[in-house]
Structure 1
Amino acid sequence: MFTLVERLPDETVRLTPLARDDGGILVPGDPTTVASRAFADTVRQRESEATRWVWDDTARWYPQLLDEGVLVERCVDLRLCHAILRASSSTVGSRIHEAPRGPYDGPQAAPVDRTALFVVEPESLPDPLAEFLLQREAVEASPHRGALELLLTAESTGALIAAEMRHRGIPWSVTRHDELLVEALGPRPATGERPTLMNGALSEVRAALNAPELNPDSPTELMRALQRAGLPVASTRQWELKRYEHPAIEPLLRYKKMARLLAANGWGWLDTWVVGGRFRPDYVPAAAATGRWGTSGGGALQLPKAIRGAVVADPDWTLVVADASQLEPRILTALARDPAMARAGAGDLYEGIVASGAVATRAEAKVAMLGAMYGATSGDGGRLMPRLTRAFPRAIAFVEEAARTGERGGVVSTLLGRSSPRPGTDVPPEMAVSVGADGRAWGRFTRNFVVQGTAAEWALCWMGALRRALLARYGSGLSAPHLVFFLHDEVVVHTPAAHAAEVAALVSDAATEAGRLLFGDAPVRFPVTVATVTSYSEAK
């Protein structure tokens, strides 16, 4: 049964049950209205009724429930589902397909500061009941209903997981973080000043360039100083600087590395983002067109190795870190149903490619696969493509066809039905090219879209299966193992040490279940590498 949740202007919440009549049509029942302060207790009582909560935006509703100790098993996130259905080739002909942009096309709701003296919960987006019925109409009329249902369920479950991970937080040692910064940068400086090790590197750069007043944080000033020293640089990016030999280059690269760490995860970041021994990033499900997640604050998806040692399990707890090995090449294998590549992936996929005779080394196999998925036409990737094509024709033909579709201005879709934007309309932020002027660039995007987007679907199913298994085995109490981190093809579970072995098995079982959900009996393995550690850095 579905229960629609809607916040009204008078700070009350309207709950509308929806059930199917004899003809299978969803029909709203009599709504009830509760005060906002009573909402969490109402949800707690109704969770036993196997309801699926329907709301406009999980980020708007779920944090309040989690603060009250209420965990929701299932939901429908109308905003996330709208984005999928509006663009999906699986909903062509429905009223929602390619509808004009509206309120449900907006960004995820911003976190509400619940520590404020007066907390005002935002009203729901307009007419969520009409939006939900419109979505159900599109799904139920689709010739690919089963796949769409799985995608929408996984997407909405992912939104629940994102909120839960933010609520529980990543265990973080402030002391260890400070120690790592001191090792890398020197002692914490006064506000506005550079740490000692950065100043040391800067002194070397200034001396080598004969520029005693140089500000290396100004790209224009730095480039002029380098050019005066006889280096014909066109930019100050790391990859270009490495092309030149000069006494200033090594200390400059060292300085830039330290500057990045200080800006992204230095003491200011630590003061802002780590509270009570927990880092709580703002996850954004489906931030990219492919469905990959992002963050709106905290940079959780870009934690550098230099500070991963600060992620430390609580006393008597441990971290179970799992990495899906070679996920995207295996996804391509399953999508293309390539038997030769499936055989190569029976063990280490890259070693299997070497054993097939396509390439000589594991490093070449990795470069060749990246070239296939991202459209390499030059360098080692381009050089190895013909050999990869001969060895694995079906896999390469699959991504080539996706690329040709994009070059022609067409749309491609993931396995479950997330479709790529149409050129010239909803160009995603990650597209840094003018696709209208460069069809080949759009082809490179669609080539990778089908693989990366389906990998994102697999990861959602993996997390969903793992969440379900953890809740069934341990419940949702404070001492229960729980997900704390997700990074595209990697998850971290914080668990009492006594449960670590069993949790590790559940993680692997969930990966197998995700593969079965998406690809049935296809002969493709999705192995995960699992490490049980006390610090995140130990898993690398």
Structure 2
Amino acid sequence: MHVLLARLPGSRVRLRPSDGGPTAAPDPAATQDVEAVGATAVVRRLEDARHPRWTWDDTDAWYPGLLADGVRLDRAHDLRLAHRVLRTSAFTRATELATAPPGSWDALEPVAARDPRAEPRGRQHESLFDLDDVPAGSPSPPGSPDPAPDDLDPAAELAAQQAAVAGSTAPGRLRLLLAAESAGALAAAEMHHAGLPWRADVHDAILTDALGPRPAEGRRPDRLEALADRIRVALDAPASLNPDSHPDLLRAMEYAGVGARSLRKGELERLDHPVVAPLLEYKSLHRLWTANGWHWLDQWVRDGRFRTDYVVSGVVTGRWSSTGGGALQLPKGVRDAVRADPGWTLVVADAAQLEPRVLAAMAGDEPMAAAGRDGDLYAGIVATGAVASREHAKVGMLGALYGGTTGVSGQVLPRLRRTFPRAMGLVEDAAVTGERGGVVTTWLGRSSPPPGQAWDAAQSGALGDGAAPDAATLARSSARAWGRFTRNFVVQGTAAEWALCWIAAVRRRLWALDDGAAGRAPEPFTTRAHLVFFVHDELVIHAPAELADAVAREVREAAAEAGRLLFGDFPVDFPLTVAAVDAYADAK
């Protein structure tokens, strides 16, 4: 059963039950219009009694407030996320939803991405329906007189989406993708609500040890200032040289005869000059100071928790992104500050070599799947005789996934093609499709965007009799670049789908575990193991210590479940590295 939620004028909320069939209409007799202040109690009663699929315009606009009131929901259907998939999927190309002109649902952005400068949402949602925080573009009242065709009417949109799935060429796969997307949105809101445990005192000690005492506003830390002096001495530069100004620094390096054309680490490491060592150290510490220094700590850590806004499918392939705090780029240097609460533990699970395993399953390449059977797929590739070393296997596989054709990658790719023709053929076919300007699609149905006007212009510019001499070169270069994108899109996107199914299974399994010792996590997770962090192929769960073994077991079983959901009984393994630790840094 679906329950559709919509806001009404006058601080009211409409709840409209529906049996969820493709042609079903909400039951007017069961519709409830309730005051916003009492809506939480109604939602809680319906959740406890029926466990419906809550259907709304955007999980980020509704669920944080419910969580703040201590309510966790099992299932949801996020109309915004589903609309975006169905609008562009090759599986729905002939449906009415895909062919309709652009409307309000196409313009709806995720709440987390609407204003990155806004204060984190955890402090915005003090109750379920704080109407001062209703985002622009929230649905107009369903049933209002003569609504415009593109109004954000959740009942009409749900019906259109169900019809699009039913009329698609792969309804089963699309249903799984939409369910996984919506489950991911619930998990993302829960991770923000619970927060990643963070010890500000440990973080401060890390910074002080690396940089020196916290400096006054507008000044560099002592360690950076000392390195800046060493850089000036090595370059015989004046005291006014600012190493943070790349143009000034490059000019000073040119004057000193260093021979650097850029400040890239790889190029600097090849140079033999006294400035290299202090400059590399300066760059590393400056990155720590600016990206995760004291200002970051003040801004993003509150009450022992770091909270970021995850943007589900914020990347075109379906991977997540985040706004605020750089959650998906937490450097190893600060991970020691991620500490479990007393009596609790962090269970860190990392999927090994996820993308090559997904590729093997997509292609139905049994020899490649068998190479990963004992845990290390790259070592398994060596055992087949395809390549001589594990490093060659890894570089060659990355070349296949990302389009590397030079160096070691170019040398070993022919051998991989002979040994794993189905897997290599899949990514090479995807690359050819992209080079021709075509669209490729992930296993569950997310399709790549078309290459765009610049690509079209480059291709058409090489065709005419009066084409510029370098037009053909530009056309070939842009075609190959887009082919590299589509080559990786199908694999990275399908790996993101596997990860969504993994998250959904972990989330469900964790909630089914017995309660543990009470901790500092907010309700409804005070005694429950819960997700607190996700990055591509890694999950971090905060759990009562006595549940650590049970959590590790459920996380592994969830990975196997995700593999079965996507690929049925195809014999591919998705092994995990799982560790229960007090500090995140100890898991690596």
**TM-score, structure 2 as length reference:** 0.88
Q: Answer yes or no: is 1:526 the counterpart of 2:574.
A: yes
Number of positions where the alignment pairs a residue of Structure 1 with one of Structure 2: 532
Note the 1:323-362 alignment, pairs <5 A. 323-347=350-374, 348-362=376-390
Q: Which residue of 1 aligns with 2:391?
A: 363
Q: Which residue of 1 aligns with 2:583?
A: 535
Query: Retained in 2: the 8 A contact 1:331–1:454?
Result: yes
By how many angstroms is 1:308 displaced? 0.3
Query: Retained in 2: the 8 A contact 1:87–1:98?
Result: no
Q: Secondary structure at the match of 2:97?
A: coil
Note the 1:132-143 alignment, pairs <5 A. 132-143=158-169
Q: Which residue of 2 aligns with 1:315?
A: 342
Q: Which residue of 2 aligns with 1:469?
A: 509
Note the 1:471-490 alignment, pairs <5 A. 471-474=511-514, 476-490=524-538
Query: Retained in 1: the 8 A contact 2:2–2:20?
Result: no
Q: Which residue of 1 aligns with 2:449?
A: 421
Change (3 A) 1:176 1:270: same
Query: Retained in 2: the 8 A contact 1:11–1:121?
Result: no
Q: Which residue of 2 aligns with 1:161?
A: 187
Query: Retained in 2: the 8 A contact 1:474–1:481?
Result: no
Query: Retained in 2: the 8 A contact 1:322–1:530?
Result: yes
Change (3 A) 1:150 1:344: same
- Counterpart-to-counterpart distance in 2, 1:277 and 1:477: 15
- Counterpart-to-counterpart distance in 2, 1:293 and 1:114: 22
Q: Which residue of 1 aligns with 2:117?
A: none
Cα RMSD (Å) of the superposition?
1.9
Query: Retained in 2: the 8 A contact 1:424–1:435?
Result: no
Q: Which residue of 2 aligns with 1:431?
A: none
- Counterpart-to-counterpart distance in 2, 1:192 and 1:37: 46
Q: Aligned partner of 2:133: which letter?
A: E
Match of 1:283 among 310, 316, 334: 310
Match of 1:129 among 138, 155, 163: 155
Q: Secondary structure at the match of 1:135?
A: helix
Change (3 A) 1:448 1:102: same
Note the 1:87-486 alignment, pairs <5 A. 87-97=88-98, 99-105=100-106, 106-110=108-112, 112=121, 113-114=123-124, 120-122=132-134, 124-125=138-139, 126-211=152-237, 212-347=239-374, 348-424=376-452, 438-474=478-514, 476-486=524-534
- Counterpart-to-counterpart distance in 2, 1:418 and 1:411: 10
Change (3 A) 1:435 1:7: farther
**Quick check: 290-299 or 117-126, which moved more?**
117-126
**Quick check: 136-145 or 123-132, which moved more?**
123-132
By how many angstroms is 1:424 displaced? 1.1
Change (3 A) 1:452 1:395: same
By how many angstroms is 1:435 displaced? 9.0
By how many angstroms is 1:477 displaced? 4.2
Q: Which residue of 2 aligns with 1:27?
A: 25
Q: Secondary structure at the match of 1:220?
A: helix
**Quick check: 294-303 or 226-235, which moved more?**
226-235
Query: Retained in 2: the 8 A contact 1:3–1:53?
Result: yes
- Counterpart-to-counterpart distance in 2, 1:260 and 1:121: 35
The superposition leaves residues 429-484 of structure 1 with CA deviations (integer Å, 9 ceiling, x where unpaired) of xxxxx999711111100100110000000001011001111112236541111111
Q: Aligned partner of 2:5: which letter?
A: V
Q: Which residue of 1 aligns with 2:8?
A: 8
By how many angstroms is 1:210 displaced? 1.0
Query: Retained in 2: the 8 A contact 1:424–1:436?
Result: no
Q: Secondary structure at the match of 1:321?
A: strand
Q: Secondary structure at the match of 1:34?
A: strand
Change (3 A) 1:120 1:436: farther
- Counterpart-to-counterpart distance in 2, 1:66 and 1:152: 22
Q: Secondary structure at the match of 1:42?
A: helix
The superposition leaves residues 34-63 of structure 1 with CA deviations (integer Å, 9 ceiling, x where unpaired) of 111112111101002121111001000000
By how many angstroms is 1:235 displaced? 2.4
- Counterpart-to-counterpart distance in 2, 1:435 and 1:297: 38
By how many angstroms is 1:227 displaced? 0.9
Q: Secondary structure at the match of 1:332?
A: helix
Q: Aligned partner of 1:173: which letter?
A: R
- Counterpart-to-counterpart distance in 2, 1:344 and 1:437: 34
Q: Aligned partner of 1:351: which letter?
A: A
- Counterpart-to-counterpart distance in 2, 1:101 and 1:108: 17
By how many angstroms is 1:18 displaced? 1.4
Q: Secondary structure at the match of 1:148?
A: helix
Q: Secondary structure at the match of 2:43?
A: helix
Change (3 A) 1:213 1:99: farther
Q: Which residue of 1 aligns with 2:458?
A: none
- Counterpart-to-counterpart distance in 2, 1:282 and 1:477: 19
By how many angstroms is 1:415 displaced? 0.6
Q: Which residue of 2 aligns with 1:430?
A: none
Match of 2:553 among 496, 505, 512: 505
**5+ long unaligned stretches in structure 2:** 113-119, 140-151, 456-473, 516-523
Query: Retained in 2: the 8 A contact 1:345–1:525?
Result: yes
Query: Retained in 1: the 8 A contact 2:191–2:533?
Result: yes
- Counterpart-to-counterpart distance in 2, 1:531 and 1:370: 26
**Quick check: 317-326 or 31-40, which moved more?**
31-40
By how many angstroms is 1:349 displaced? 0.4
Change (3 A) 1:324 1:425: farther
- Counterpart-to-counterpart distance in 2, 1:465 and 1:69: 22
Query: Retained in 1: the 8 A contact 2:530–2:543?
Result: yes
Query: Retained in 1: the 8 A contact 2:194–2:525?
Result: no
By how many angstroms is 1:425 displaced? 6.6
- Counterpart-to-counterpart distance in 1, 2:407 and 2:477: 24
Q: Aligned partner of 1:64: which letter?
A: G
By how many angstroms is 1:185 displaced? 1.3
Q: Which residue of 1 aligns with 2:564?
A: 516
By how many angstroms is 1:192 displaced? 1.0
Q: Secondary structure at the match of 2:19?
A: strand
**TM-score, structure 1 as length reference:** 0.95
**5+ long unaligned stretches in structure 1:** 428-433
Q: Which residue of 2 aligns with 1:39?
A: 39
By how many angstroms is 1:115 displaced? 7.0
The superposition leaves residues 312-338 of structure 1 with CA deviations (integer Å, 9 ceiling, x where unpaired) of 000110011000011001001111111
Query: Retained in 1: the 8 A contact 2:125–2:133?
Result: no
Change (3 A) 1:108 1:435: farther
- Counterpart-to-counterpart distance in 1, 2:45 and 2:235: 70
By how many angstroms is 1:426 displaced? 12
Change (3 A) 1:67 1:20: closer
